Structure 1
């Protein structure tokens, strides 16, 4: 009976990828906290997760380089955050404290995903060795 990595690793491989992308977006928000007219962005985790899962399992494949790519936009889950604070006059919607909190929470969830993947690989290693 053949086993695939999709079956062996479950959803954790997808969550880690989405969390990594979200870290980049939040870090970009923090870096642009003083940029006039910058709008804070975030990833809708549920949409990104669903897209990551479907991309792995049922994505169309191009068999010829002249075929048109069918599929979703890589950043379709990326949206703007609704600001909680009043406009400071420069049009920037980044709330640094909120971004730092989101970054920390996302980092913890990313680490949890890495830990789950590590335990899955450890189990696979034991199965291969027959332990």
Structure 2
């Protein structure tokens, strides 16, 4: 009987990919907190998850090892400017460092939850495979 990793892992690999993309956007916001005119961005998680899932299901297959692999997902295509929580400080920057740090920590916790789930699933699969062979 073949093991279906898509069924075993569910949505968690796609969720982790979306969380990684969101972490990059939030880190960019924090890094540009003092850049005049920089506008804070964020990723709509539902849209990012949908994009990651469709990219995974529609991946092109390479027929030769020298062919380029194509990455169809782009952070820029799913990132959006965030409405600022604070009034303009005069330099046009809309980054609130405390908000960005909180969002980054929350995103990290959710990434870790998916990672722990996947680790548990892998350990369960290894245990099941180990008990069958003898």
Give the TM-score of the pair, scaled to structure 1. 0.86
SS in 2 for 1:79: strand
Tell me how far 1:56 sits from its aligned partner. 1.5
Asked whether the 8 Å contact 2:29–2:41 carries over to 1, the reply is: yes
What is the aligned-residue RMSD (CA, Å)?
2.2
Q: Distance in 2 between matches of 1:82 and 1:60?
A: 36
Tell me how far 1:4 sits from its aligned partner. 2.7
* Residue 78 of structure 2 is aligned to residue 77 of structure 1: yes
Tell me how far 1:24 sits from its aligned partner. 1.2
Asked whether the 8 Å contact 2:41–2:81 carries over to 1, the reply is: yes
Give the TM-score of the pair, scaled to structure 2. 0.84
Any gaps of 5 or more consecutive residues in structure 1? Answer: none
Q: Distance in 1 between matches of 2:115 and 2:96?
A: 28
Q: Distance in 1 between matches of 2:84 and 2:28?
A: 16
Asked whether the 8 Å contact 2:55–2:73 carries over to 1, the reply is: no
